[in-house]
Amino acid sequence: MIEFDNVSLTLGSFSLKNISLTINEGDYYFVLGPSGAGKTVILEAIAGLHRPDSGSVLVRGEDLCNKPPEKRKISLVYQDYSLFPHMTVFDNVAFGLKMQKCPKSEIRMKVDDILDRFNISHLRDRHPLTMSGGEQQRVALARSLVVNPKILLLDEPLSALDPLTHEKFIRDLRSLHKEQGLTIVHVSHSRQEALSLANNVAVIIDGRLVQEDTVEGVFNRPSTEEVGRFVGIENIFRGRVNRNDDSLINVDVCGVNISAVGNYPDGTEVNLFIRGEDIMLFQTDGAVTSARNTLEGEITDSFHVGAVVRVNVDCGIPVSVLVTRQSSEEMNLIRGKKVIVRFKATAVHAVPVNMDAAEI
């Protein structure tokens, strides 16, 4: 539906370099990258507020470079909400309809309807500056949706909300996308948001597209070490394939042998990605499981990370394991304790290193 074809764009000291993206109708498309990576500029280019220096932005196959933003039917919600401070909530939401020269009675109906749907009817006559962040957020969303856009662009919509409003809003977005089939493009630096919401993800680092894939793809099979670290994979090892049994490879990582599913010739240098929650910890007297990889080690450190506990184990290579608080207490996972670490070959994602070079 939206295609970025080799778009380059320089704005002052910042630049996007040869970005190609494909956003399909009905997607929840996530643009993920560190702060300051120019993710907002991508949204503004889709909305027509910037003109690419080269390359083209196609919407349904039509090159939009000469279509001004007011004719694109693409709504944009900024991180700062950008409500019009001199208008009431009603007038803010009605703005787009007025610009489209809707009859007054229809405007009143449509606006009241959407205010109701977003549970903000009681704010109808308030001015934005007197409202909380969560309330402003809802108004901004209502304002952008009342004009019935083809695409909704969201610029870090959750970063300024406190945790309570945050969770509520994620639920709203999910329902907007699932129940109403809206195409949404969402930019953020938060991998949590991407995991909770996205279908497809583009990872943008330093103005370059590093990976475009499904959310599972990006989070489980990062194309480079850089992406792996950014999406928060706890264990990333570099090693060399030393045996290839059809679709099962054996990788030597600093002398430790790890089995992974994959098919690369002997001698290939690969990055191995293993999520901390895919690794199991056992007492040294624990039972045998089907897991291919079994390492012995000693706990070096363990600490809470939100609802889970992260346990670092030295097995020759440093392995990080995520366990629930309950398991941590039951197994008494403290520093110095010897444990067995197990993970399946299918939990290890091997990506050849030379793909890194191809991307850069």
Partner 1 sequence: MVKKAKKYIFPDRCLISFSLVGGLIIALTVLALMNMAVKELSDIPHILKVASDAKVIDSIVLTMGAGFNAILILLLIGTPLAYVLARTDFPGKGIVESLVDLPVMLPHTVAGILVYILFMSRGLLGAPLEEIGLSFEDAYPGIVVAMLFVSSPYYINSVRAGFEKVPLHLENVARTLGATRFQAFIRIVLPLSARHIFNGSILAWGRAIGEFAAVIMIAYYPMVISTLIYYRFTTGGIKESSTVAFVMIIACLGAFFVLRYVSRFLGRYDDRV
* Cα–Cα distance, 74 to 182 (Å, whole number): 11
* Cα–Cα distance, 210 to 310 (Å, whole number): 28
- Binding segment for its own copies (CB under 8 A), chosen from 84-92, 137-145, 305-313, 331-339, is 305-313
Is position 303 an interface residue for its own copies (rule: CB under 8 A)? yes
Is position 345 an interface residue for its own copies (rule: CB under 8 A)? no
Scan residues 83-112 and list those touching partner 1 (CB under 8 A). 84-86, 95-96, 99-100
Is position 70 an interface residue for partner 1 (rule: CB under 8 A)? yes
Q: Which helix (H) or strand (E) holds 340?
A: strand 338-343
Task: Give which of 49, 59, 317, 36 is closest to 183, Cα–Cα.
Answer: 59
For 288, which DSSP code? P
Strands 151-155 and 74-77: parallel
Tell the residue number behind the tokens 């509520």, with chain if given. Answer: 168
CA-to-CA separations, 277 to 10, 42, 216, 311, 357, in angstroms, rounded:
40, 33, 15, 11, 29
Partner that binds at residue 338, options its own copies, partner 1, none, CB closer than 5 to 8 Å by kind:
none
Phi/psi for 254 (5° steps) reads: 45, 45
Kindly calculate the radius of gyration of the chain based on its CA atoms and give it in whole angstroms. Answer: 24
- Binding segment for its own copies (CB under 8 A), chosen from 54-62, 102-110, 288-296, 322-330, is 322-330
Is the distance from CB of 218 to CB of 203 less than 8 angstroms? Answer: yes
Partner that binds at residue 352, options its own copies, partner 1, none, CB closer than 5 to 8 Å by kind:
none
CB of 35 to its own copies, least distance (A): 6
Is the distance from CB of 78 to CB of 155 less than 8 angstroms? Answer: yes
* Cα–Cα distance, 108 to 21 (Å, whole number): 38
The only residue of 195, 253, 261, 331 in contact with its own copies, by rule CB under 8 A: 195
* CB-nearer residue toward partner 1: 49 or 305: 49
* CB-nearer residue toward its own copies: 52 or 276: 276
Partner that binds at residue 305, options partner 1, its own copies, none, CB closer than 5 to 8 Å by kind:
its own copies
Is position 143 an interface residue for its own copies (rule: CB under 8 A)? no
* CB-nearer residue toward partner 1: 34 or 316: 34
Is position 132 an interface residue for partner 1 (rule: CB under 8 A)? no
The only residue of 11, 49, 99, 305 in contact with its own copies, by rule CB under 8 A: 305
The footprint of its own copies (CB under 8 A) covers 34-35, 133, 160, 162-164, 174, 189, 191-192, 195-196, 229-230, 232, 275-278, 303-308, 322, 324-326
